[in-house]
Structure 1
Amino acid sequence: MAGDAKKLQPIIIKRVKKGGHAAHGGAWKIAYADFVTAMMAFFLLMWLLGSTTEGDKKGIAEYFSSPLKVAMFGGSGSGDASHVIKGGGQDLSRQTGQVKAGDVESQRHTVNLRALKEEQRRAEKSRLEQLKQKVEDVLGEHPRLAALGGQIRLDMTLEGLRIQIVDENSRPMFDSGSAVVKPYMRELLRELGAVLTEVPNRLTLEGHTDAQAFASGDRGYSNWELSADRANASRRELVAGGLPESRVLRVQGLASSKLLDEKQPESPLNRRISIIVMNRDAVDAVLKNLPAEDETETAGNSPAKSASSP
């Protein structure tokens, strides 16, 4: 019986479940985000320090040492001075600091002034072109002056409108070695004086001779004195024609230093009077003692001898 009882005893199987891992928390994500933020701030700081000028760095350091002083009274690195409380700026594209309102206004003034000067130059050039046409019309309409048309040359230079009256063997402006204007040239100069009153530009008169020297040589009365006297005689005829005395800025004798026909130094074409209707830039250059732009090419020539107007 006892054996049967053992056979009928149930078999009990115990299964032990192992405990699983606990759920992970999110604290590490916060720490990683803080780390990434700190690194980004660090690299941003390095970039700002690398793109900031030394003056701005000193301004920042001064601000942290005395912020109220910099904010109220300005200083190096204080930013745009147009703000009520200095320290701000609006031009974020600048790598060397903000632009002050005064700098912006100065740049605008410079641009406007440059545009105004360009407009004045164009208007003045147009006025001189009209004067050139006017002189040509007067010469063409005047019966006696039409015969002298071949001796008058008009061209535009860097100084302005240049009117050149050259000699011909048959119709010289002056007798040889003389500064007395011939009657037909006197009439021409007075007609030019009347035409030149139509523009307000200042004038330069230049006398030129050929290379044939005086017998007395350069130490006596020479081509320098002769060219200056001829230019001054031409000035008197222009004034007699109605040109105001104040319009003449320079009267100078250049002798043979600027030959018109360099291949033939003694050619009659080199004996001439040049009347230059000066533009604003040329007048400013003379008044400020600056070299004229078109005189740089002849810097090696002999200096001109000027003759003061009586």
Structure 2
Amino acid sequence: MSGPSNAQPIIIKKVKKGGGDGHHGGAWKVAYADFVTAMMAFFLLMWLLNATTEKQRKGIADYFSPTIPLNRVSGGGDGAFGGESTFSEMALPQVGTGATSLNPTPEDKASGREAEEEAESEQQRQLEEIEKILRGQSGESDVHPEMLRHIVTRVTDEGLVIELFETEDVPLFEGETAEPTALLEEMAAMLVRVTSLVTNEMAMEGHVHARPVVLNENPVWELSTLRAQEMRKLMLQQGLSGNRVSRVTGHADRELADRNPMAARNDRLEIILLRDDG
């Protein structure tokens, strides 16, 4: 006997429990870590560029350069350069293909920076020797003690400045004129003799003390210029070559040597042995 014909079939549903969108693996974590590492390296590079000097940056670049040897020990190669690059500081002079700043040729030494530095050093030595003579500190000095009282020297970037100044009791010019005294004539002859040790050009400058402001015509400019010109004439008469005189100027009372603008110490001449920049 069969069962009822109107019985409904039994349907069984299987519910699959999942975790949302599913698992995609950990590849994104590796990519993110690489990105963070790259950013850290980038910011570290920016910091180094800002915190180091040009010389330090060049040293770092040279360290990573494959064409520059890091030490004097051979790299072990058996080629023509013993394992060194053809552009290294060691290889070029050895094979005769050229020279570098660390290994200059004798010709480069004679005509390059070393020659210029030697010339500057020799010029400085000559100026200092003349300064010693004028101060009476050299065995070759024959400067009279009376002259030494009126001489001050100093070495500047422009050259050797020889200052001749008056005192309250011993002037270099007659009164308020440009007429030289016998002492100044003797000093001019002495300067021509001493400065003949070098060939540097000269500049001659005149300075005078200030005058009262009540004067209608202040003679300071004309007088300082006339005195500088008179000193030039005195030295030319004693044998100085006219080609050595580069300039003659008067500074009036604009550059005082004494705080008191009326002091006799401000009446002075400056003879400058100019440095030879050529």
Identical aligned residues as a percent: 26
Counterpart secondary structure, 1:259:
coil
Aligned to 2:221: 224
Aligned to 1:245: 242
Deviations along 1:101-147, one digit per CA (max 9) or x if unpaired, are 9xx89xx879x6433322211110001111122333499645xx322
TM-score computed with the length of structure 2 as normaliser:
0.56
1:120, 1:270 → 2: CA distance? 36
Aligned length: 181
Contact 2:211 2:218 in 1 (8 A): no
2:141, 2:127 → 1: CA distance? 18
2:179, 2:112 → 1: CA distance? 47
Cα pair distance change 1:197/1:215, threshold 3 Å: farther
Displacement after TM superposition at 1:172 (Å) = 0.8
Aligned to 1:270: 266
Aligned residue identity for 1:224: W
Aligned to 2:153: 154
User: Is residue 256 from structure 1 mapped to residue 253 from structure 2 by the alignment?
Assistant: yes
Q: After superposing the two structures, state which structure 1 stretch, 194-203 or 223-232, moved more.
A: 194-203
Displacement after TM superposition at 1:213 (Å) = 4.9
2:229, 2:191 → 1: CA distance? 15
Aligned residue identity for 1:168: T
TM-score computed with the length of structure 1 as normaliser:
0.51
Aligned to 2:10: none
Aligned residue identity for 2:264: P
Contact 1:201 1:247 in 2 (8 A): yes
Displacement after TM superposition at 1:156 (Å) = 1.1
Contact 1:213 1:223 in 2 (8 A): no
Counterpart secondary structure, 1:269:
helix
Structure 1: tracts of 5 or more residues without a match: 1-88, 93-100, 285-310
Aligned to 1:117: 116
1:202, 1:231 → 2: CA distance? 16
2:255, 2:112 → 1: CA distance? 36
Aligned to 1:128: 127
Aligned residue identity for 2:207: H
Give 1:203-214 correspondences, 5 Å limit.
Answer: 203-213=202-212
Q: How large is the Cα RMSD of the aligned pairs?
A: 3.3
Displacement after TM superposition at 1:90 (Å) = 6.3
Displacement after TM superposition at 1:257 (Å) = 1.6
Contact 1:192 1:241 in 2 (8 A): no
Contact 2:202 2:274 in 1 (8 A): yes
Aligned to 1:72: none
2:196, 2:142 → 1: CA distance? 19
Displacement after TM superposition at 1:204 (Å) = 0.6
Give 1:126-205 correspondences, 5 Å limit.
Answer: 126-137=125-136, 141=142, 145-205=144-204
Aligned residue identity for 1:225: E
Contact 2:133 2:141 in 1 (8 A): no
Displacement after TM superposition at 1:198 (Å) = 2.0
Displacement after TM superposition at 1:266 (Å) = 1.4
Cα pair distance change 1:244/1:257, threshold 3 Å: same
Cα pair distance change 1:129/1:211, threshold 3 Å: same
Counterpart secondary structure, 2:149:
helix
Contact 2:202 2:245 in 1 (8 A): yes
Aligned residue identity for 2:124: K
1:268, 1:214 → 2: CA distance? 17
